[in-house]
Chain A
């Protein structure tokens, strides 16, 4: 089942601008994570925010979580060309046999020099 849904699907900005991506989900979660994927590569974990947290920072990344609206946002400040990648949110899903991560379709970010 596709739980996380990122918005927008694609985003193009100039270097130095801020990039904001949103994620919506349908069920209750324990935590939400953001991952980055460079073209043709595996995903890399960026940041995790727990359901009892509202905001978290890591370097140029800022993540917010609104459990009442079932949504999260990822803000990348002062973007660089090297930030060009696809960004995915992932929510945990506790099943009978342990954690199962569910990914959204991603936001493709292009940062133009």
Chain B
């Protein structure tokens, strides 16, 4: 079955530690996203990537880092610089295709729908 796999489902971090959340998809989607969700609140965008080897900051990128070396994988590192990392983290992908021409990545066209993973809950001890 095609889908998005996030791991681990639960993660505990000591203050000062970096942790990496895994996100893998086998949907052949070009675009991938990381969202943060706090209790009783909506989703806030951390980073997104429209194409391999390219990614853009979202609304709350400070204290986080990502890489997109492979189409299937978009890991998120929560660094020690993130002062309040306890949250539920959601990875998503969509079929939107970014087109690269030199250093320019052009936007995708059409309406795209997000497919989400089951989430990873990070708690700082």
> With A and B bound together, what is the CA distance between A4 and B42 in angstroms?
10
User: Which residue, A1, A30, A101, A102, has most C-beta atoms of chain B within 10 A?
Assistant: A101
Residue total for B at the interface (Cβ-Cβ under 8 A): 37
> With A and B bound together, what is the CA distance between A41 and B111 in angstroms?
24
B33 at interface, CB cutoff 8 A: yes
* Overall SS of chain A's interface: strand
- Near A by CB (< 8 A), chain B positions 101-125 give 105-108, 111-119, 121
A48–B105 touching, CB < 8 Å: no
User: What residues of B have a CB within 8 angstroms of the CB of A44 in the complex?
Assistant: 116
User: Which residue, A44, A90, A97, A102, has most C-beta atoms of chain B within 10 A?
Assistant: A97
> With A and B bound together, what is the CA distance between A44 and B115 in angstroms?
7
B118–A97 touching, CB < 8 Å: no
Cβ 8 A contact of B107, one of A43, A48, A94, A102: A94
Which are the 3 A-B pairs with shortest beta-carbon distances?
Answer: A42-B116, A98-B50, A105-B42
> A-contacting residues of B (Cβ < 8 Å)?
4, 6, 31, 33, 35, 40-45, 48, 50, 54, 56, 58-59, 88, 90, 92, 94, 96, 98, 105-108, 111-119, 121
> B-contacting residues of A (Cβ < 8 Å)?
1-2, 4, 30-31, 33, 35, 40-45, 48, 50, 88, 90, 92, 94-106, 108
